[in-house]
Amino acid sequence: MTGEELLRGQGLRVTRPRLAVLDVLTQGGHLEVEEITRQVRARLDSVSTQAIYDVLGALSRAGLARRIEPAGSPARYEARVGDNHHHIVCRGCGTIRDVDCLVDERPCIDPGIGHGFEVDEAEITFWGLCPQCQHERRADQAA
């Protein structure tokens, strides 16, 4: 499905900034606004940072982008939406990777007491050290 079809399918107007942001996100990764802005500006002559935030907000509300905000990190955005996946974050360098849900249904965990909420999703963040940071830690300990 093209970017135009995705936007129209969610009732959004098709604009150059929306198409450019959507294209950047579909390239993959968990991108900060600064990186998204840099890549969009390489495609379009001029776009403000506020416009990028506005587009990301609209795409997130429409279900075309997902905002994640690991503790101590700036918000990141990804195009992987509509499935039940989680994230693993490196405490050393901040690298984020997707972790597929093992249960394959929403929510993948039950909070026990729901306080009257109809729970439809659980967001889990795993923390640890990526292979590169583990290697660097071992090298530092050996020195």
What's the half-sphere exposure (Cβ side, CA atoms, 13 Å) at 18? 21
Burial level of 111, CB count in 10 A (0-12/13-18/19+)? Answer: exposed
Give pLDDT tens digits for 56-81.
Answer: 999 999 999 999 999 888 999 999 99
Domain 3-68 classification at class level: mainly alpha
Q: Where are the domains of the chain?
A: 3-68, 83-142
Model pLDDT, residue 3? 92
At 106 the pLDDT is 64
Q: Which residues, 6+ apart, have CB-to-CB distance to 105 below 8 Å?
A: 84
Evaluate whether 99 touches 136 at the Cβ level (below 8 Å): no
* Architecture (CATH level 2) of domain 83-142: 2-Layer Sandwich (3.30)
Comparing 52-66, 81-95, 113-127, which segment has the lowest mean pLDDT? 113-127
Q: What is the pTM of this model?
A: 0.85
pLDDT tens, position by position, 12-26:
999 999 999 999 999
